[in-house]
Amino acid sequence: MMKNYQLTPTKVAICPICNSKSAKILWSVDSSQAAQHYVTKEADTQRFLNLAAHIKELWKQNTCDIVQCDDCGFCYSNPYIAGDDKFYTLAYERSHYPTWKWEHQLTYEALLHEDSKNFKLLEIGAGDGAFVKGIAPNLTSLENVVCTEFSDYGKEQIQNYGIKCLSEDIREVKAEVFKEYFDVVCMYQVIEHMDRLDTLFESLNWLTKPHAKLFVSVPNPKHVEFSELNGGLMDMPPNHIGRWNKECFERIGKHWDWQVDRFEIEKTDFISGAILFYKYIFWRKCQESGTLANKISQIKNPHLSKLMRLVGIGFYTLKNLSTMKALSSEELGLSQWVLMKKIN
């Protein structure tokens, strides 16, 4: 188990936020190790092999470093390459989407104070529409909302609600009808998956009106670090490829004429946080050949699998009770939320 980061200086990487070449390697991974994070070879050998080969193809090499910029603190994968549709199809079997979340509520409360109740809103990567269903028609009309979502299930759920949904990368949306169209853009747990950040902000500027608002949520880097250094899940590329902080948003915002107006970190919910962390430990152990968790992950019977997973989580919880006190830290909330305003 990794107890500390490598912190090996490197001049190879270029920070996607500030272009600095001064960084330290936190940890490194090869394509097989990355694939094992998502699909263990013991549970599904062929899918694992296909995923490992595709990750290697994405990276155009066999290894990837996770580095931290010495100037702005941005943590990012090097190579800085996001997962594509094929990666997500191989890596995940999505069965559900999150419901109303902490960041949704903060945005909802901020939008309550909008002067106009006729604002036009874009949500990028909208899942099955949990957020927009709470916004429209309560705060603006269904016709004023547009979403992007790649999954067929999510898109269908959004469209069935009466909201327009595009299966397009927002960086490629060039329909003239959307030029300077939106007053509000929302991205919840999305931007940490994305590369080509300059193209993203160039598109956001093209799509939004003057003085538009951008609401973003991302994982809390302190929570990620705690998990990685205490036996929980790693923040594995090419799923998450960027670990954001307030200064990152300020730096990229300044470059593209967006100003950070509010920034908040989710408060720790000790009970739910502890339950999730000990699940993380179990899932991390699933990746290690020969462990109890790895053997449980191979069980095909769904009822027995569910029962044994509960047993496994309990087992690893008892083995790692020493981390319980640290989990009460107020810094370990899951998410960060930022409101950025377009300067002109």
Amino acid at 178: F
> Is the alpha carbon torsion for 20, 21, 26, 28 positive or negative?
positive
Give the chain's domain count.
3
Asked if residue 95 has pLDDT above 70, the reply is no
Is 241 part of a structural domain of the chain?
yes
Is 144 part of a structural domain of the chain?
yes
C-alpha distances in Å from residue 257, one per residue of 157, 190, 254, 273: 34, 21, 5, 36
Is 42 part of a structural domain of the chain?
yes
Structure confidence at residue 53 as a pLDDT band (50, 70, 90): very high
Burial class (CB in 10 A: 0-12, 13-18, 19+), 191: buried
Q: Strands 258-265 and 164-166, how do they pair?
A: unpaired
Asked if residue 36 has pLDDT above 90, the reply is yes
- Residue identified by tokens 């898109």 is 155
Asked if residue 87 has pLDDT above 90, the reply is yes
Q: Phi, psi at residue 55, to the nearest 5°? A: -65, -45
User: Do 60 and 181 reside in the same domain of the chain?
Assistant: no
- pLDDT tens string 158-182: 999 999 999 999 999 988 989 999 9
3-state secondary structure of 248: helix
DSSP string, 257-296: TEEEEEEEEPPP-HHHHHHHHHHHHHHHHHTSTTSHHHHH
Q: Provide CB contacts within 8 A for 147, sequence distance 6+.
A: 122, 123, 124, 126, 129, 132, 158, 163, 164, 165, 166
Asked if residue 231 lies in contact with residue 75, where contact means CB atoms within 8 angstroms, the answer is no
User: Do 136 and 246 reside in the same domain of the chain?
Assistant: yes
pLDDT at 269: 84
Structure confidence at residue 11 as a pLDDT band (50, 70, 90): confident
Asked if residue 111 has pLDDT above 70, the reply is yes
CA distance 239 to 77: 10
**CATH number for the domain including 221?**
3.40.50.150
User: Do 123 and 236 reside in the same domain of the chain?
Assistant: yes
- pLDDT tens string 253-298: 999 999 999 999 999 888 989 999 999 999 999 999 999 999 999 9
CA distance 49 to 5: 28
User: Do 191 and 262 reside in the same domain of the chain?
Assistant: yes
Q: Which of 91, 122, 137 is the last residue of a domain?
A: 91
- Residue identified by tokens 């490829």 is 241
User: Do 183 and 218 reside in the same domain of the chain?
Assistant: yes
C-alpha distances in Å from residue 75, one per residue of 14, 40, 103, 135: 11, 26, 22, 33
Q: What percent of the chain has pLDDT over 70?
A: 99
User: Do 237 and 278 reside in the same domain of the chain?
Assistant: no
pLDDT at 114: 75
User: Do 197 and 336 reside in the same domain of the chain?
Assistant: yes
Structure confidence at residue 324 as a pLDDT band (50, 70, 90): confident
Is 139 part of a structural domain of the chain?
yes
User: Do 227 and 334 reside in the same domain of the chain?
Assistant: yes
Asked if residue 214 has pLDDT above 80, the reply is yes
User: Do 139 and 255 reside in the same domain of the chain?
Assistant: yes
pLDDT at 48: 96
Q: Which pair of tokens denotes residue 240? A: 């998450």
Helix, strand, coil shares, percent, the chain, to 5: 45, 20, 35
- Residue identified by tokens 């954001």 is 244
CA distance 310 to 114: 46
pLDDT at 209: 96
CA distance 285 to 107: 36
pLDDT at 94: 65
What's the mean per-residue pLDDT of the chain? 94
Helices (H), 163-220: 197-207
DSSP string, 121-155: EEEES-TTSHHHHHHTTTTS-GGGEEEE---HHHH
Residue 78: give the domain boundaries.
Answer: 8-91
In terms of Cα–Cα distance, which of 122, 74, 67 is closest to 250? 74
Strand residue runs (E) in the chain: 8-10, 23-30, 63-69, 75-78, 121-124, 145-148, 164-166, 182-188, 208-219, 242-243, 258-265, 335-342
Asked if residue 117 has pLDDT above 90, the reply is no
In terms of Cα–Cα distance, which of 223, 222, 231, 227 is closest to 320? 231
User: Do 107 and 58 reside in the same domain of the chain?
Assistant: no
Mean pLDDT of 231-248: 97
Structure confidence at residue 310 as a pLDDT band (50, 70, 90): very high
pLDDT at 102: 96
User: Do 245 and 182 reside in the same domain of the chain?
Assistant: yes
pLDDT at 1: 65
